[in-house]
């Protein structure tokens, strides 16, 4: 059963802790993305990766870090430098240069809700 999995579904963090959110895909997609969603707002891009061992900052990368050691995996670490980390985090993936589809369609995981205690 192909898809994108994120874990955990709920995560609680104490002040000053780093936490890591998992994102795995078995769709053989090239690109992976992390978005942050705050209540009543759209999604904002944190980081993205188009190839293994390479990733780029998005619009709100401060206080976050990522790695892309395997094509299937793109974990996100929320560091203590992120001042307001409570949010819903969504991971997505897509083929690059999907000519048959006409566009690189992104598919999303179920999300992780992070709460700072």
Q: Which residues of the shown chain bind another protein in the complex (CB under 8 A)?
A: 6, 31, 33, 35, 40-45, 48, 50, 56, 58, 90, 92, 94, 96, 101-111, 113
Give the residue among 4, 106, 114, 117 at the shortest CA–CA distance from 63.
114
Compare residues 75 and 80 and give the one whose CB is closer to another protein. 75
DSSP string spanning 63-80? TEEE--SBTTB--EEE-T
Cβ atoms within 10 Å, residue 36: 22
The residue among 20 and 103 lying less far from another protein, judged by its C-beta, is: 103
Least distance between another protein and beta carbon 80 (Å): 26
């Amino acid at each position: 059963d192909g898809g994108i999995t994120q874990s955990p579904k709920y995560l609680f963090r104490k002040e000053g802790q780093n936490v890591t959110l998992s994102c795995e895909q078995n769709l053989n997609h090239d690109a992976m993305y992390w978005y942050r969603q705050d209540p009543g707002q759209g999604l904002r891009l944190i980081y993205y990766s188009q190839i293994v061992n390479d990733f780029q900052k998005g619009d709100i990368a401060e206080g976050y870090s990522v790695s892309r050691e395997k094509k299937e995996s793109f974990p996100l670490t929320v560091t203590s430098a992120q001042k307001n980390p409570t949010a819903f985090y969504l991971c997505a993936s897509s083929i690059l240069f999907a000519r048959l589809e006409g566009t690189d369609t992104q598919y999303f995981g179920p999300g992780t809700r992070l709460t700072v205690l």
